[in-house]
Chain A
Amino acid sequence: MSRYSTAKLMAWGIVALAAEVTLLETFAVKGARPELLLSVACFAALFARDSQQGLLACWGIGLLKDAASSGPLGLHALLFAVAGWAVLQVRQVLFRESPVTQLAVGFLAACWVNVAGAIFVSVTAGGIPVGVIVGKTLISALLTAAFTPALLLFFSRVRWSVR
């Protein structure tokens, strides 16, 4: 798996968004749920044809997440783009087909997006207790890490759906 169509991946992003705000809400633990859109963005960064495609896909997927949020537009687009950029910088030295790599990338990306998002919301909307930030970030990152290899396995098995 080394190529995908950005348009098809965005369509999968819409499906992931629908799943995230409806079905995956039932998997929520202490209010933290798996970030399926971030898993799609991890796939976008790990298997992009080039940096341009990877960044564009991550940014677009982040923008999709912003569409379903009551916060400002562009926040998740920014955070996803930065996460994608970081993955693109180190992917030369990563064995991206390994589930362990995918799990680690999903976990770290979820930690970054959650912590940075929480700090932004704390500054602009109102303080979030540190305990809530730490707890939700860790649970959400673990759930996202668990979903990421499964999603990437799905994309590699059903290649026609993203190519």
Chain B
Amino acid sequence: MPPLRRRSSLLPFLGLSLILLILPSPWTRKARLAAVAPLGLVRGLACATRVLPDRVLPARENGELRTQVDFFKDEIQKLKNENEILKVKLDQASRLAQSCPEQHFRLLHAGVVLATDGSPWRKSLTLSLGAKGGVQKGMLVLFNNQLVGRILETGPWTSLVQLVTDPAFRAGAVAVPRTTVTGPEFDRRHVGVYEGTAGQRGQLKWFMAGASIDPDGFVLTTEDPLNGVPRGLLLGRVTGIVNAQGNSPRAEVDPTVDFRALESVMILVGESR
């Protein structure tokens, strides 16, 4: 006898989904952040497998001496790695200090657990530093002087970053020429709004139609004390201008960093915090 074919209605699933959709995102985000954090292990595992053959299949000859040599090689490698990390931190801090000389910040260093978002239309990163490490909602995340995004949610040990390419990201911004002798000049009349597009780039909108934008120029943040945004952080490079002669021109902005390839970032902690 064939199995009994039950007809099922879509309505209960629609109802459940709508209830979940109505719930404010922050209510569920902490739990989701905690649930997704172990996926970072997969990324770590993929990196670990690159060095696995050397570890699993050591040479048999001169066992004791070889073990000692390996131990010292490991120690040297460990020190080299530590040195590299410190160099990167110093480099990032000094580049930031160059971009925003008049600002005073503290920087937190965080590793990237997951460099992507589950949804194709949202852009986020998961970091390995959370509320217990001093991270708070709204803090800015940087790589060198490139603005990576803003902390959207914090768990105890992890935090979620809304990238600058996320469609919900917005910031006051200004386009500056590629090279200037005295550093970037901020013309208040040319300030616009930068927003993400869910693609690989963002766009600068709502600037004056007459504003001259260098096609190879850069887009930098303008000061926004309310949201803790200092001026001069890099949002990206101008790659094209759409509707240049019209009433609503838009500059396409390409971030200078591939966010998917990031392994570590800096979190900006303002003095007032």
Q: How many residues of A contact B (CB 8 A)?
A: 54
Pairs A–B under 8 Å by Cβ, sample size 30:
A20-B118, A21-B118, A22-B46, A25-B116, A28-B260, A31-B199, A31-B200, A50-B8, A51-B6, A52-B6, A65-B118, A68-B36, A68-B117, A68-B118, A69-B32, A69-B122, A70-B117, A70-B119, A70-B122, A73-B21, A73-B25, A74-B16, A78-B14, A78-B21, A81-B10, A82-B10, A85-B10, A118-B121, A121-B121, A121-B122
Q: What is the distance, in angstroms, from A31's C-beta to the closest C-beta of chain B?
A: 5
Q: How far is the CA of A75 from the CA of B17 in the complex (A)?
A: 7
The answer to whether B25 and A66 touch across the interface, beta carbons within 8 angstroms, is no
Q: How far is the CA of A66 from the CA of B36 in the complex (A)?
A: 10
- Chain B window 1-30, contacts with chain A (Cβ cutoff 8 Å), 1 for yes, 0 for no: 001111110100110111111010100110
Q: Does A10 contact B (CB under 8 A)?
A: no
- A81 touches which of B13, B160, B197 (Cβ 8 Å): B13
- B119 touches which of A65, A82, A85, A135 (Cβ 8 Å): A65
Q: How far is the CA of A74 from the CA of B172 in the complex (A)?
A: 32
Q: What is the distance, in angstroms, from A47's C-beta to the closest C-beta of chain B?
A: 13
Q: Given A55-B8, A72-B25, A121-B198, A81 and B17 touching (CB < 8 A)? A: yes
- Chain B window 130-159, contacts with chain A (Cβ cutoff 8 Å), 1 for yes, 0 for no: 000000000000000000000011000000
| Chain A residue contacts of B20, Cβ below 8 A | 66, 72-74, 77
The answer to whether A32 and B13 touch across the interface, beta carbons within 8 angstroms, is no
Q: Does B168 contact A (CB under 8 A)?
A: yes
| Chain B residue contacts of A118, Cβ below 8 A | 121, 198
Q: Give the B-binding residues of A (Cβ under 8 A).
A: 17-23, 25, 28, 30-33, 35, 49-52, 54-56, 59, 62, 65-78, 81-82, 85, 114, 117-118, 121-122, 125-129, 132, 135-136, 140
Instruction: Across the interface, name the chain A residue whose C-beta is closest to B24.
Output: A72
Instruction: Across the interface, name the chain A residue whose C-beta is closest to B165.
Output: A31
| Chain B residue contacts of A114, Cβ below 8 A | 120-121
Q: How far is the CA of A17 from the CA of B42 in the complex (A)?
A: 11
| Chain A residue contacts of B46, Cβ below 8 A | 22-23
Seed contacts A121-B122, A125-B166; 6 additional CB < 8 Å A-B pairs: A18-B39, A21-B116, A22-B116, A50-B5, A51-B7, A74-B17
Instruction: Across the interface, name the chain A residue whose C-beta is closest to B7.
Output: A51
Q: Does B124 contact A (CB under 8 A)?
A: yes
Q: How far is the CA of A34 from the CA of B32 in the complex (A)?
A: 22
Q: Does B195 contact A (CB under 8 A)?
A: yes
The answer to whether B120 and A33 touch across the interface, beta carbons within 8 angstroms, is yes
- Of B160, B168, B198, most buried by chain A (CB within 10 Å of CB) is B198
Q: How far is the CA of A35 from the CA of B124 in the complex (A)?
A: 17
| Chain A residue contacts of B7, Cβ below 8 A | 50-51
Q: Given A20-B118, A77-B13, A129 and B199 touching (CB < 8 A)? A: yes
Instruction: Across the interface, name the chain B residue whose C-beta is closest to A59.
Output: B13
The answer to whether B118 and A17 touch across the interface, beta carbons within 8 angstroms, is yes
Q: What is the distance, in angstroms, from B191's C-beta to the closest C-beta of chain A?
A: 19
Q: How far is the CA of A21 from the CA of B16 in the complex (A)?
A: 25
- B16 touches which of A19, A23, A77 (Cβ 8 Å): A77
| Chain A residue contacts of B192, Cβ below 8 A | none
- A73 touches which of B32, B42, B115 (Cβ 8 Å): B32
Q: How far is the CA of A140 from the CA of B117 in the complex (A)?
A: 15
Q: Does B196 contact A (CB under 8 A)?
A: yes
| Chain A residue contacts of B124, Cβ below 8 A | 70
Instruction: Across the interface, name the chain B residue whose C-beta is closest to A68.
Output: B118
